Structures are given as C-alpha cells and as structure tokens.
C-alpha cells in the first residue's frame, strides 16, 4: 500500500440528508480515505441537526467555508410543510443553499460530466457547457400587482430626502385593467457576478459568453452589459489574452442559437431568469441530473462544491426498507474531487490535485466500460459495450477497482 496523501488545510465538509447522506459516507470510505489522509472540518447539515441547532450549523458551515476557502456539500432537504410534519421541525427552516449563497455572496456554476456512450440530446455537444446563473434580483425579487380599468401605473424614484426624482408612466390602463411589475438589481451584485464569471473562466480556461436583451432594455439590460464590459477592459482583458480565451457579449437569442450549434466548451453567463430556464434545458439535454456538478464561487475566491440534484428521497425509502438501490453518485464524487483538487491547488499539493483527477477519470471510465447506475442504462449507447446496472455501493466498488 502506498503512503496516503497528506493535506494541509481542512476542507469544510457539510453532510446532508437521505440517500445522498448514505452515498456520502460510502464515497469517503471506499474512494477517498484509503488514499488520502483526509482533513475536514465537519458540519452536519442533516435536517435533524439543523433543527437541533436552530439552523446555526448552516451559518457556521458557511462562515467556515469563508475562512478556509473550500467546502464540499452533500444534498440537503429544503423543508416544506410535509417535511415539518415528517421531522417534527421547530419551524420551516430556509434552504441551506440559499443561506450559504447569501453568506458567500456567490455565483453558481453548473457543469455536466461527460462520458462516452452517454450521448447528449444535442449530438453536436462534445464538450461541457458550463452555465453561470446570476442568483440575485430581477423577477425573483420583483414587485407586481394587478390594475383595474382607469388606473395609471408609474415607476417612481425618490432620493434620500424623499423628493421625487423621476416619475415614469408605465401604462395608462384607460381601456381596461391588466398587470404591472417592477424589478431591480444592484451595481454591487452585478459586478460580483461578473467578477465570479471572469475568475471562473480563467480558472478553467474556457471562453466566456454573456448575453442579455440590451437592444430592447436600453437601461436595465444595457447596464449589465456595461458593467461586464468595463470590468473586462479594466481588469481582465490582459489575463484573458494571456490565457488564450475570449470574452464575448451577444444578445440572448443569438446566444441560445449559438449554444445549440456549438460543440460546447463554453462558460455561459446568464441573468437570473435566463439562467433558471436555461440550466434546466442544458442539464436535461446532457442526459441525467446525476451527471451535473455545481460549484458556488464567491467574488473573493471561496469555493463550495456540490451535486446539482437533491437527496433522492424515493431511493432512500427503498434503502431503508432494505431494498436494492442504484443511485448515481457521480455528481457527489465530482463535488469531492472538485474540493480536493482546489485544496491541492491552493495549498501547493500537486499529488492531491492529481489524485482528484485520477478519481474523476476512474469514475468516467467505469461508465464507459459499461458499469453504471440504473439512471444511465437507458441513455447508454456504445458499440460493443453492454451496459450493466450496478447497485449504489457496487458502482463505487467498481470505481475503486479502477483506482487501485
């Protein structure tokens, strides 16, 4: 047995719920602990402990992520009324991801994991398309109302003293009622979104595309375009040129058309609503939720890695009954490898980064050889390879075999 790889700084480990909590333990035992002298600061974000600590554990974990720079998070339950009942919760705690995002002030990047044999619905996509969604403002914190015939709706802006600075007629509903909506964003949030995107593009050496509808929205969307362009010119142009990647701004409809025609290999930055809609399109088009990773990057360079899917409740209840499960652990494995690789990079431990890449390779090649979980079997097509459905733990053992 070779010597285990030593670490310097701990990774902030955020445990979670249900089936993904089960996978979490197995991934560590089977794929990481035999090879790495794993150093983590552990936070139990499972719903039981969040309730016990009045959700303080989520805040503590996010602050630890800020302190150490790198975290890895297991999927967690966001409670609804049914979960409040099921877990006898003190209250309906907020989404942990929302809390962490607020504290880290980050942008979420979602990237598909590609394996030969799992063909995207758009066959021209050969490389990953990474989607960056601005996670603040626009219609997600909009104000809206219904109007009646004869109403007039205005957009009103007051200064600090309460003097009316601007009063713009939105619509005179003289001929009949309707609806009206008002949205906002802030320079600070747009700028940190832009910064996260530029940094991530440099990190992974991918060209960055950003798109809005500035031809129609000449102040609002145009402001996004200006902030991105100014920041690019001032701080990032030289770095992009040195890295041999480009920044391109275009219109959102043009971007959609280009994405479909592209072979992938692009970081696509989207406004909040565009990102919401397009990330589901891109994720589905690549094949499976179990093959999509997610990383939250803060403007000051903190990273939180996770899988894009949930806690896979249906499989968990089968597991509890002792029935066989075949839950895809790939995205959770890649959350761990993302964190380990980043830690290795920051701490100057190339062996750690190399191990993470090796584990990713072993995972993908297990699938390419036909060993996979049930969700992938119907998607798999490769000449001469018959896909075999493995159990949740069995799949991890198949990867471990390749690793050793």
Question: What residue ranges bind ligand NAP (CB under 6 A)?
Answer: 75-78, 97, 289-290, 306, 309-314, 327-328, 375
For Mg ion, the binding residues (CB under 5 A) are 276, 280
CA–CA distance, 303 with 295 (Å, rounded to integer): 7
CB of 340 to ligand NAP, least distance (A): 20
- The torsion of the CA quartet 127, 128, 129, 132, rounded to 10 degrees, works out to -150
* Residue closest to ligand NAP, measured at CB: 310
276: partner contacted, choices ligand NAP, Mg ion, none (Cβ within 5-8 A by kind) = Mg ion
221: partner contacted, choices Mg ion, ligand NAP, none (Cβ within 5-8 A by kind) = none
398: partner contacted, choices ligand NAP, Mg ion, none (Cβ within 5-8 A by kind) = none
In 10 A of CB 174, how many CB atoms?
Answer: 9
* 3-state SS assignment for residue 7: coil
CB of 303 to ligand NAP, least distance (A): 16
Which lies closer to ligand NAP via its Cβ, residue 232 or residue 380? Answer: 380
Nearest CA among 295, 271, 294 for reference residue 283: 294
Nearest CA among 140, 63, 107, 32 for reference residue 295: 107
CA–CA distance, 170 with 183 (Å, rounded to integer): 13
Q: Where are the beta strands (DSSP E) in 231-346?
A: 247-251, 266-270, 292-297, 303-307
Residue 5 falls in which region: left (phi positive, over 0), alpha (psi -120 to 50) or beta: beta
Which lies closer to Mg ion via its Cβ, residue 276 or residue 368? Answer: 276
Q: What's the start-to-end Cα distance of the chain, in Å?
A: 10
CB of 19 to Mg ion, least distance (A): 22
CB of 399 to ligand NAP, least distance (A): 15
Residues ≥6 apart with Cβ < 8 Å to 56: none
375: partner contacted, choices ligand NAP, Mg ion, none (Cβ within 5-8 A by kind) = ligand NAP
Which lies closer to ligand NAP via its Cβ, residue 102 or residue 223? Answer: 102
293: partner contacted, choices ligand NAP, Mg ion, none (Cβ within 5-8 A by kind) = none
CA–CA distance, 305 with 289 (Å, rounded to integer): 15
> Following DSSP, what letter does each residue of 107-126 receive, concatenated?
EEEEEEPP-TTB--SSTT--
Q: Structure tokens of 136?
A: 């603040």
Residues ≥6 apart with Cβ < 8 Å to 401: none
CB of 83 to ligand NAP, least distance (A): 6
Q: Structure tokens of 252?
A: 């959102």
* Residue closest to Mg ion, measured at CB: 276
CB of 259 to Mg ion, least distance (A): 16
Which lies closer to ligand NAP via its Cβ, residue 194 or residue 295? Answer: 295
Which lies closer to ligand NAP via its Cβ, residue 40 or residue 329? Answer: 329
65: partner contacted, choices ligand NAP, Mg ion, none (Cβ within 5-8 A by kind) = none
30: partner contacted, choices ligand NAP, Mg ion, none (Cβ within 5-8 A by kind) = none
Which lies closer to ligand NAP via its Cβ, residue 189 or residue 327? Answer: 327
Helices and strands: H and E segment counts in the chain = 14, 16
Residue for token digits 């102040």?
Answer: 219
Residue for token digits 């009045």?
Answer: 54
10: partner contacted, choices ligand NAP, Mg ion, none (Cβ within 5-8 A by kind) = none
Which lies closer to Mg ion via its Cβ, residue 263 or residue 280? Answer: 280
63: partner contacted, choices ligand NAP, Mg ion, none (Cβ within 5-8 A by kind) = none
CA–CA distance, 370 with 108 (Å, rounded to integer): 31
> Which whole-number Å values give the CA distances from 261 to 205, 228, 266, 297, 322, in the listed order?
21, 24, 12, 28, 46
CB of 99 to ligand NAP, least distance (A): 12
Residues ≥6 apart with Cβ < 8 Å to 322: none
* 3-state SS assignment for residue 182: strand
Which lies closer to ligand NAP via its Cβ, residue 108 or residue 211? Answer: 108
Which lies closer to ligand NAP via its Cβ, residue 75 or residue 201? Answer: 75
310: partner contacted, choices Mg ion, ligand NAP, none (Cβ within 5-8 A by kind) = ligand NAP
CB of 278 to Mg ion, least distance (A): 9
CB of 272 to Mg ion, least distance (A): 10
CB of 112 to ligand NAP, least distance (A): 14
Which lies closer to ligand NAP via its Cβ, residue 44 or residue 306? Answer: 306
């Amino acid at each position: 047995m070779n010597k285990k790889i030593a670490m310097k700084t701990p990774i902030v480990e955020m445990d979670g719920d249900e089936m993904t909590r089960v996978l979490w333990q197995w991934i560590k035992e089977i794929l990481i602990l035999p090879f790495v002298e794993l150093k983590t600061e552990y936070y139990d974000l499972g719903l039981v402990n969040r309730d016990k600590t009045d959700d303080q554990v989520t805040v503590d974990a996010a602050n630890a992520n800020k302190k150490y720079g790198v975290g890895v998070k297991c999927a967690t339950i966001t409670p609804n009324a049914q979960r409040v009942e099921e877990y006898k919760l003190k209250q309906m705690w907020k989404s942990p991801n929302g809390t962490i995002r607020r504290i880290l002030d980050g942008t979420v990047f979602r990237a598909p994991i590609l394996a030969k044999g799992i063909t995207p619905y758009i066959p021209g996509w050969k490389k990953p398309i990474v989607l960056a969604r601005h996670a603040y403002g626009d219609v997600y914190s909009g104000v809206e109302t219904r109007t009646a015939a004869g109403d007039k709706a205005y957009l009103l802006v007051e200064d600090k003293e309460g003097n009316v600075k601007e009063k713009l007629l939105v619509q005179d509903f003289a001929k009949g009622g309707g609806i009206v909506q008002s949205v906002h964003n802030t320079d600070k949030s747009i700028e940190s979104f832009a910064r996260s995107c530029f940094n991530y593009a440099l990190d992974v050496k991918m060209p960055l595309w950003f798109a809005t509808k500035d031809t129609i929205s000449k102040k609002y969307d145009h402001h996004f375009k200006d902030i991105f362009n100014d920041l690019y010119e001032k701080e990032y142009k030289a770095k992009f040129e040195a890295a041999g990647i480009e920044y391109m701004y275009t219109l959102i409809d043009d971007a959609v058309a280009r994405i479909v025609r592209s072979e992938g290999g692009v970081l696509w930055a989207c406004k909040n609503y565009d990102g919401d809609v397009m990330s589901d399109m891109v994720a589905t088009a690549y094949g499976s939720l179990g093959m999509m990773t997610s990383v939250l990057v803060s403007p000051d360079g903190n990273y939180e890695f996770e899988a894009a899917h949930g806690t896979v409740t249906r499989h968990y209840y089968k597991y509890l009954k002792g029935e066989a499960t075949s839950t895809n652990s790939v995205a959770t494995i890649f959350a761990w490898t993302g964190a380990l690789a980043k830690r290795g990079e920051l701490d100057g431990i190339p062996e750690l980064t190399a191990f993470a890449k090796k584990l990713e390779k072993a995972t993908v090649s297990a699938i390419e050889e036909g060993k996979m979980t049930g969700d992938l079997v119907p998607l798999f097509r490769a000449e001469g390879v018959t896909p075999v459905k493995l159990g949740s733990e069995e799949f991890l053992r198949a990867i471990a075999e390749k690793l050793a």
